[in-house]
């Protein structure tokens, strides 16, 4: 049976109507969704999208911040920044090397003419000066790095180069912050130096983290100078400041279409150090003079022909303020101008760039010679003996009334294979107590009464004798960081555990008792000395009195920090103080203040010879200690001759500038001179009145 055509037509019409209605319904729904979405865009997301659109239509250029300054304790500028216009030259990369160099030389001739005509006469540069700055032999930089040719351009120079830039390909004028260091080279290694950010961002962990910074004001610029060592690195975030921004509205072709908006850079904060400029410079000079003296002395006890370096730290006993920190020889920090150092300067000063009071530094030797000499990190020698006596008393190995008969030698070990511990110069001291052992620097007393007895007593409360010794060392800051915060600070080198493994615990403790089983830094030695002076408080060494913002507001003050304390009986402290007050040392003749001290001559095996290193610690005044001083002279011979006279100069300088008794002697002298002048003027007036 065939379908009815009329029925089929009716069904088709119904299906068409359904599809048509469905189409209109879907179209209506889509239009409704579109209208709702447009409403959301207009009223809800509109402000956000407008801001995003504006951002996409602007271009920002970062302006480098001006680095904060570093002052000494009296406000004298040690390192300071100035904002300046500088001329940079880029070697043309699309030329062959020789052609690029010749083009650079031709450019140098053109630049000299402009500098002479429009520049500051005091900043004249010859063609040779300009070529040297261009670094055409690539001693400082790779070919693609722009070279800074001249800083401090005059307004006329800037205007000329900006107007004629097409005539000077490769030349750019940049506004930048230039770091200036005092020509007196004050605490150079402590202050540190700067390098370009693009040269350290991949090498130093601190700067690797900066690559992810999203705040435009905190993002580092590729050619920005950043702290790499010392306080410049330690306080990088404080000193840096914030970028400025030049913001331009641009069209799709990136052409500027409106007025520029400027956010000025924020200057970094300023550091006011605990370092006293005059004390620091006197310390540096004292080391330099002493090295010269002992290297040529005719006195056999003083002569130290190999002495080439010296290190000293002066630290206030109750505050931890470091008033002087010298690592000598030093260098002119302005060799880092522009954030890079030449190969020639590196060859001359590479061995003294590091701070030898906290890290390993050698004299200027060839690689082959270096192994024949000790570094700045040394055995303490006899300067450990006050602490050894304290340990012996605290551990009950002897008492303040115990006497030992020093025959000049102490023997230990299996019969027939004994090792002998002798005094320097084979001296024999007879019957001595703990104080006498410090005074006379008796090695047999330390070995027999402390090292050997501690070993033979054995384990106590689960701790071996070596571990007990190690605990005391660390409580006094030896073998641990001083917590100064300075980059690259060494913990020192502990040898007594190794000696116990390869030889015996007995040998390790005996040699440790008179300062031969641990090598430490000068800063650690100063911290330890201050702890002896204040009777048991380990102070954190600090270098900054105040941090002030660019407007002079204090944003961080100073507070002493006690890292740990030890609790010994007063009679124990008095015992070592008595001994330290009787030690003989050179250079302190005629002092008008009391002081306690300990000399040391630490021995070290280097390349088949025994090097004698001069070590000295002291604090003053004896009755109310104010300043602790530690001096180390590698290859310096006897501590009483090689190091002690340096300490005397440091104490005198501090007394003059700050005052061991609270009043600077310089001020007292000036006040006395002023009073004398007033009194003399009054006498003159009286005499004139009488004549009338």
Confidence of residue 339 (pLDDT cuts 50, 70, 90): low
Q: Which segments within 317-453 are labelled E, that is strand? A: 322-328, 378-379, 404-406, 409-412, 419-422, 430-432
Torsion sign, CA atoms 529, 534, 536, 542:
negative
With beta carbons less than 8 A apart as the criterion, state whether 483 and 540 touch.
yes
List, for residues 366-385, the tens digit of each pLDDT value: 888 888 899 999 999 999 99
Is the residue at 345 inside a domain? no
Q: What is the CATH number of the domain that holds 497?
A: 3.40.710.10
Is the residue at 670 inside a domain? no
Higher pLDDT, 509 or 22: 509
Number of domains in the chain: 2
**Residues 249, 387 share a domain:** no
| Nearest one of 247, 240, 102 to 177, comparing CA atoms | 240
Is the residue at 327 inside a domain? no
**Residues 449, 574 share a domain:** yes
pTM: 0.81
Confidence of residue 144 (pLDDT cuts 50, 70, 90): low
Region 49-78 average pLDDT: 78
**Residues 386, 269 share a domain:** no
Among 243, 273, 303, the domain boundary falls at 273
Kind of pairing between the strands at 270-273 and 70-71:
parallel
Higher pLDDT, 23 or 109: 109
Residues 6 or more apart whose CB falls under 8 angstroms from that of 126 comprise 112
Among 273, 290, 309, the domain boundary falls at 273
Region 127-156 average pLDDT: 84
**Residues 391, 251 share a domain:** no
Residue 211's CB is within 10 A of a number of other CB atoms, namely: 11
Among 215, 243, 273, the domain boundary falls at 273
Q: What is the CATH number of the domain that holds 67?
A: 3.90.1310.10
Model pLDDT, residue 88? 87
List, for residues 152-207, the tens digit of each pLDDT value: 899 999 999 989 988 998 898 877 778 889 988 899 999 999 998 888 888 888 89
Is the residue at 49 inside a domain? no
**Residues 533, 386 share a domain:** yes
Q: Which two tokens stand for residue 165?
A: 């830039």
In this structure, the dihedral spanned by the alpha carbons of residues 404, 407, 408 and 410, taken in order and rounded to 10 degrees, is -70
List, for residues 383-410, the tens digit of each pLDDT value: 999 999 999 999 999 999 999 999 999 9
Confidence of residue 333 (pLDDT cuts 50, 70, 90): confident
Is the residue at 19 inside a domain? no
Torsion sign, CA atoms 96, 102, 106, 108:
positive
Model pLDDT, residue 689? 34
Is the residue at 34 inside a domain? no
Residue 118 lies in domain: 59-273
List, for residues 234-245, the tens digit of each pLDDT value: 999 999 999 888
Q: Tokens 């290193």, residue?
A: 613
**Mean pLDDT over all residues of the chain?**
88
Is the residue at 319 inside a domain? no
Model pLDDT, residue 566? 97
Is the residue at 434 inside a domain? yes
Confidence of residue 58 (pLDDT cuts 50, 70, 90): confident
Is pLDDT of 683 > 50? no
């Amino acid at each position: 049976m065939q379908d009815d055509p009329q029925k089929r037509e009716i069904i088709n019409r119904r299906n068409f109507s359904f599809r048509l209605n469905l189409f209109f319904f879907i179209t209506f729904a889509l239009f409704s969704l579109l209208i709702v979405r447009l409403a959301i865009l207009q009223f809800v997301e509109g402000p956000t999208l407008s801001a995003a659109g504006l951002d996409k239509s602007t271009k920002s250029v970062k302006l480098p911040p001006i680095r904060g300054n570093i002052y000494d304790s009296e406000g004298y500028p040690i390192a300071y920044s100035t904002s300046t216009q500088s001329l940079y030259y880029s070697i043309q990369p699309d030329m062959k090397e020789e052609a690029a160099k010749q083009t650079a030389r031709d450019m140098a001739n053109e630049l000299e003419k402009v500098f002479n005509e429009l520049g500051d006469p005091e900043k004249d540069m010859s063609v040779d000066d300009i070529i040297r700055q261009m670094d055409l032999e690539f001693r400082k930089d790779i070919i693609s790095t722009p070279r800074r040719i001249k800083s401090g351009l005059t307004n006329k120079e800037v205007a000329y180069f900006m107007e004629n830039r097409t005539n000077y390909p490769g030349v750019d004028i940049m506004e930048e912050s230039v770091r200036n260091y005092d020509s007196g080279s004050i605490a150079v290694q402590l202050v540190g130096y700067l390098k370009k950010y693009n040269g350290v961002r991949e090498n130093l962990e601190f700067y690797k983290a900066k690559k992810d910074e999203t705040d435009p004001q905190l993002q580092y610029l590729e050619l920005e100078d950043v702290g790499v060592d010392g306080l410049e690195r330690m306080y990088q975030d404080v000193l840096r400041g914030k970028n400025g921004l030049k913001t331009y509205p641009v069209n799709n072709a990136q052409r500027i279409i409106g007025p520029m908006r400027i956010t000025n850079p924020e200057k970094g904060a300023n550091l006011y150090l605990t370092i006293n400029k005059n004390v620091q410079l006197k310390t540096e000079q004292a080391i330099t003079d002493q090295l010269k003296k002992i290297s040529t002395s005719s006195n056999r006890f003083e002569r130290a022909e190999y002495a080439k370096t010296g290190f000293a730290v002066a630290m206030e006993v109750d505050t931890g303020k470091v008033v002087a920190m010298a690592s000598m020889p030093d260098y002119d920090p302005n060799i880092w101008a522009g954030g890079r150092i030449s190969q020639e300067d590196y060859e001359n000063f590479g061995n003294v760039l590091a701070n030898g009071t906290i890290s390993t530094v050698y004299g200027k030797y060839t690689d082959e010679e270096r192994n024949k000499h000790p570094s700045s990190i040394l055995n303490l020698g006899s300067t450990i003996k006050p602490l050894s006596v304290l340990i012996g008393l605290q551990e009950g190995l002897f008492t303040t009334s115990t006497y030992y008969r020093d025959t000049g030698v102490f023997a230990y070990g299996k019969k027939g294979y004994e090792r002998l511990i002798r005094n320097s110069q084979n001296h024999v001291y007879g019957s001595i107590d703990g104080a006498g052992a410090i005074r006379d620097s008796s090695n047999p007393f330390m070995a027999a009464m402390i090292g050997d007895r501690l070993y033979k007593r054995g384990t106590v409360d689960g701790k071996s004798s070596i571990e007990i010794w190690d605990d005391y060392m660390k409580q006094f800051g030896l073998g641990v960081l001083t917590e100064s915060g300075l980059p690259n600070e060494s913990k020192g080198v502990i040898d007594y555990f190794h000696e116990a493994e390869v030889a015996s615990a007995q040998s390790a403790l005996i040699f440790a008792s008179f300062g031969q089983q641990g090598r430490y830094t000068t800063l650690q030695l100063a911290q330890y000395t201050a702890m002896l002076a204040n009777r048991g408080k380990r102070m954190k060494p600090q270098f900054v009195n105040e941090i002030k913002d660019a407007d002079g507001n204090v944003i961080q003050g100073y507070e002493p920090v006690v890292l740990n304390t030890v609790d010994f009986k007063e009679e124990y402290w008095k015992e070592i103080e008595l001994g330290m007050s009787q030690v003989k040392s050179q250079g302190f003749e005629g002092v008008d203040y009391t002081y306690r001290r300990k000399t040391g001559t630490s021995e070290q095996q280097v390349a088949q010879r025994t090097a004698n290193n001069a070590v000295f610690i002291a604090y003053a005044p004896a009755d109310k200690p104010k300043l602790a001083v530690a001096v180390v002279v590698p290859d310096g011979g006897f501590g009483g001759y090689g190091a002690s006279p340096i300490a005397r100069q440091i104490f005198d300088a501090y007394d003059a500038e700050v005052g061991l008794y609270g009043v600077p002697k310089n001020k007292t002298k000036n006040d006395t001179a002023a009073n004398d002048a007033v009194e003399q003027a009054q006498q003159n007036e009286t005499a004139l009145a009488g004549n009338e």
